[in-house]
Amino acid sequence: MPANEAVLHYFGVEGRTAIDVTESGALSSWPQGFFDQSERDLASLAGLRRRRR
pLDDT at 14: 77
Please give the Cα distance from 33 to 49 (Å, whole number): 24
Identify the CA nearest to 8 among candidates 30, 38, 33, 36: 30
pLDDT at 40: 83
Positions in the chain whose pLDDT score sits under 70: 48-53
pLDDT at 13: 78
Please give the Cα distance from 41 to 5 (Å, whole number): 33
**Phi/psi-derived region of residue 41, left when phi > 0, alpha when psi is between -120 and 50, beta in every other case:** alpha
Full-model pTM = 0.46
pLDDT at 2: 83
Cα four-point dihedral sign 42, 45, 46, 47: positive
